[in-house]
């Protein structure tokens, strides 16, 4: 089965609203990264997390290694937030290898 | 721009050709990765270098895919011979390494094999 399961797979938001994306892990994740792939294909690193939370502008992410999940909260969604969000986990027994989720496709409408 | 640089942005090849994709990692990063991205398979790791040494050579991708890192600031991915199923976006990424694996990606090379 999927080692990193992302939900939802697709999401449509009105500009100005809030939402949360989630990743559940069936591996012993030690660090988590969140990426945004924009419509042109560029992958941008949003967060690199050890267990805990981080905030950057309208984005906030949390990683709970004991409960094996991570969340990405988007506040006051803007048109430029549209794209595909990927989470990726590093696990102790997999060394450097990141296991990627299948992504959440987000569309922000005006 | 001091990010990861990949060339070319697009490549069109005939079946059976040899193509070479290029990558320059972020200056000072020790780890370099090559990934392939398709809609069906998502992101797949092809190769991984740590301090220029090949640590992962991609398992199922070994036979026609060869990544090299001749110096700390340049890597190539050769596909020989190309097949239509190789059509994908090839992404290079680098990270500082040494317990900081925060990954930075290049813009990718979109390969179409006819």
| Structure confidence by residue, pLDDT tens digits, B44-102 | 889 999 988 888 777 666 789 999 998 999 999 999 999 999 999 999 999 998 776 89
Q: Does B101 contact A90 at a Cβ distance shorter than 8 Å?
A: yes
pLDDT band of residue B9 (cuts 50, 70, 90) is very high
Taking alpha carbons only, the member of B71, B106, B112 closest to residue B92 is: B106
- Walking along chain A (110 residues) 10 residues at a time, the average pLDDT comes out as 90 96 95 94 94 97 97 97 96 79 95
Q: Does B105 contact A45 at a Cβ distance shorter than 8 Å?
A: yes
Tell whether the model's pLDDT for residue B12 goes beyond 80: yes
Largest CA distance in chain B: 42
Give the CA-trace dihedral at B94, B40, A62, B27, to 10 degrees: 10
Residues of A in contact with B105 (CB under 8 A): 35, 42-45
How far apart are alpha carbons A79 and A13 in whole angstroms? 9
Tell whether the model's pLDDT for residue B1 goes beyond 60: no
- How far does the CA of residue B93 sit from the closest CA of chain A (Å)? 10
- The pLDDT tens digits of the residues spanning A33-54 come to 999 999 888 899 999 999 999 9
* Sequence-distant (≥ 6) Cβ neighbours of residue A11 within 8 angstroms: A19, A21, A104, A105, A106, A107
Closest chain B residue to A42, measured at CA: B107
């Amino acid at each position: 089965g999927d080692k990193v399961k992302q939900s939802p797979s697709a999401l449509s938001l009105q500009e100005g609203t809030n939402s949360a994306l989630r990743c559940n892990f069936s591996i012993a994740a030690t660090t988590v990264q969140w990426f945004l792939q924009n419509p042109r294909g560029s992958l941008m690193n949003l967060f690199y997390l050890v267990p805990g939370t981080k905030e950057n502008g309208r984005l906030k992410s949390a990683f709970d290694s004991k409960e094996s999940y991570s969340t990405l909260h988007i506040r006051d969604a803007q048109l430029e937030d549209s794209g595909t969000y990927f989470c990726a986990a590093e696990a102790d027994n997999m060394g450097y290898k990141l296991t990627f989720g299948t992504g959440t496709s987000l569309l922000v409408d005006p | 721009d001091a990010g990861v640089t990949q060339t070319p942005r697009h490549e069109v090849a005939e079946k059976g050709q040899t193509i070479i994709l290029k990558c320059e990692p972020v200056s000072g990063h020790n780890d370099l990765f090559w990934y392939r991205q398709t809609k069906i398979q998502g992101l797949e790791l092809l190769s991984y270098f740590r301090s220029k040494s090949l640590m992962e050579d991609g398992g199922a991708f070994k036979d026609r895919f060869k990544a090299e890192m001749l110096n700390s600031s340049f890597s190539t991915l050769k596909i020989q011979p190309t097949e239509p199923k190789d059509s994908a976006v090839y992404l290079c990424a680098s990270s500082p390494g040494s317990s900081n694996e925060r990954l930075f990606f290049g813009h990718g090379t979109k390969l179409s094999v006819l």
